[in-house]
Amino acid sequence: MKFWADLHLHSRYSMATSKDSNPEKLVHWAGRKGLALIGTGDLTHPGWREELRDKLEAAEDGLWKLKKEYYLQQVPAIPAASQVRFVISGEVCTIYKKEGRTRKVHHLILLPGLEAADQLAARLEKNGNIAANGRPIFNLDSRDLLEITLEVSPETIFIPAHIWTPHFSVFGMNSNFNTLQECYEDLTDKIHALETGLSSDPPMNRRLSMFDDYAFISNSDAHSPQKLGREANLFDCAPSFGALREALKKPFPGFLGTVEFFPEEGKYHWDGHRACGLRWHPFQTMEAGGKCPVCGRKVTVGVLHRLEALADREEEGKPPSWRPCERLVPLTRIIAEAEGVGENTKKVRELYNGLLEKLGPELKIIREMPLCELEKAAGALITEGIRRVRQGLLTINPGFDGEYGEVKIFSAKEREAFSR
């Protein structure tokens, strides 16, 4: 069975998240995006686990589904909410000293059930406040977090999260580990997959031969339901926790690949200093000695810079763990570009809803739908936008220091020419 999965997201119990991030809205938007499996997020938070128990029921082995009474109305072209499944998931932050340096690392954890989540939360509560944030912070070595998680459930899927993000990741500039072994020590062999994050993609990561034995997965890290599926993973396996776990272990049977942000759009792709409006390619940072010419402070070293420092290949390698990826732009962004209006406007929402009602889920529209069929429903300009996205014919001003990159599909003159 082929299906799309987004395994890393957050509930409303995490900081800086939408109040709409509840089970019913997450299922509603998963269907609109074309996702069959999503993470619950925030597995350690007591309030969220209580809500999950109230609103979910057991489905296939190790997976969960929304109870029927919580379904929101969906348009006919979208798969029923009953087809969307949850896997118990959460992101944990560890901040600690190691070898004289402060390390800040995020980890994605998938568990086979809520009982395991209860047990893990009880163990971790000794190291920090699990009720303060859906993504809790613990003064705990990453290796020890992995050990505790495996003691609670040997079936755990443990994945280093967004591995290059500057401030909170295993290879980011602030943690500055240069190998997984430095971080996870004797338990490194319990890790089989790594998460790319929005500012990198699998081809970039395949320039490092030390990753040849790992699968690269990509997830939305959504803080609101509408952001689900901006990155996702394609599987061909049974809908169960055990099958998912096997698909993410070498030789990765049943894991087929990913859809991605264009990594330049990620908010830490290039180096820079947001306060001074400074956006730099890594070479510029190195030439300037890493200091902002405006204020003299150190610039934030981005994903591309750190990756270049550790890469031992000029081009993407294709080991047996290699899987294809596609780079996409969200449909609302394509519509906004075509119409020359903001992405969050009423006009974009109406056009987006209309296309889903006529054609089906978003991933189907932007990936699979023949252009001739698209044009009948969407018109020439939106169809041309989708064609350009599929072929990578975009202009992107790269993201830096927490600012998303700026994607341009059309110039004003091109938009005007199509409207004639």
**Does the pLDDT of residue 420 top 80, yes or no?**
no
| Tens-place pLDDT, residues 104-162 | 999 999 999 999 999 999 999 999 999 999 999 999 999 999 999 999 999 999 999 99
Q: What is the pLDDT of residue 209?
A: 98
Q: Residue 326: is it exposed, middle or buried by C-beta count within 10 angstroms (0-12/13-18/19+)?
A: middle
Is 70 in the same domain as 171? Answer: yes
Domain with 31, as residue range(s), is 2-264
pLDDT at 414 over 90: no
Tell me which residue of 307, 298, 274 sits closest to 162, measured CA to CA.
307
Q: Are 151 and 63 in a shared domain?
A: yes
Query: What's the mean pLDDT when you consider all of the chain?
Result: 96
| Structural domain includes residue 282 | no
141 and 34 share one domain: yes
pLDDT over 90 (residue 419): no
Are residue 100 and residue 175 in the same domain, yes or no? yes
Question: Looking at the domain assignment, is residue 315 inside a domain?
Answer: no
Residue 231 sits in the same domain as residue 360: no
Decide if 335 is inside a domain.
Answer: yes
Is the separation of the CB atoms in 31 and 83 below 8 Å? yes
pLDDT-based confidence at residue 417 (cuts at 50, 70, 90): confident
Average pLDDT over residues 58-76: 92
**Helix, strand or coil, per DSSP, at residue 268:** coil
> What percentage of residues in the chain have a pLDDT greater than 70?
100
Position with higher pLDDT, 207 vs 417: 207
Q: Is residue 314 part of a domain?
A: no
Specify if 165 maps to a domain. Answer: yes
Q: Where among 219, 235, 264 does a domain terminate?
A: 264
In 137-281, which residue ranges form alpha helices assigned H by DSSP?
Answer: 142-152, 180-184, 202-205, 241-247
Total domain count, the chain:
2
Let me know if residue 284 belongs to a domain.
Answer: no
241 shares its domain with 343: no
From the CB of residue 210, how many other CB atoms can be counted at a distance below 10 Å?
A: 13
- How far apart, in Å, are the Cα atoms of 188 and each of 123, 184, 218, 219? 21, 5, 20, 22
Other Cβ atoms less than 10 A from the Cβ of 112: the count is: 22
Listed residues 207, 231, 264: the one ending a domain: 264
β 85-98/37-39 pair status = parallel
What is the rounded CA–CA span in Å between residue 221 and residue 215?
18
Residue 418 has pLDDT above 80, yes or no: no
In a domain, 272, yes or no: no
pLDDT category of residue 412 using cuts at 50, 70 and 90: confident
Give yes or no: residues 71 and 177 share one domain: yes
- Distance of alpha carbon 325 from alpha carbon 266, whole angstroms: 16
Q: Please tell me whether residues 235 and 337 are part of one structural domain.
A: no
Model confidence at 175, in pLDDT bands (50, 70, 90)? Answer: confident
Please state the rounded mean pLDDT for residues 202-206. Answer: 98
CATH at 200: 3.20.20.140
pLDDT above 90: percentage of residues in the chain:
94
Which residue, among 90, 319, 106, 144, has the nearest Cα to 214 in the 3D structure?
319
Does the pLDDT at position 82 exceed 80? no
**Confidence band for 24, pLDDT divided at 50, 70 and 90:** very high
Same domain, 233 and 355: no
Q: Region 342-366: what's the mean pLDDT? A: 96
The half-sphere exposure of 102 on its side-chain side, counting CA atoms within 13 A, is 8
Residue 415 has a pLDDT of 84
Asked whether the beta carbons of 268 and 163 are under 8 A apart, the reply is no
- Stated pTM of the model: 0.96
246 and 363 fall within a common domain? no
The amino acid present at 285, given as its one-letter code, is T
Do residues 257 and 375 share a domain? no
Q: Is the pLDDT of residue 86 over 90?
A: yes
Q: Is 321 contained in some domain?
A: no
Domain termination residue (choose one: 264, 285, 308)? 264
Residue 76 pLDDT grade (very low, low, confident, very high; cuts 50, 70, 90): confident
Tell whether 348 and 250 lie within a shared domain.
Answer: no
Q: Are 306 and 174 in contact (CB under 8 A)?
A: no
* H or E element that contains 6: strand 2-6
Instruction: Find the mean pLDDT for residues 89-107.
Output: 97
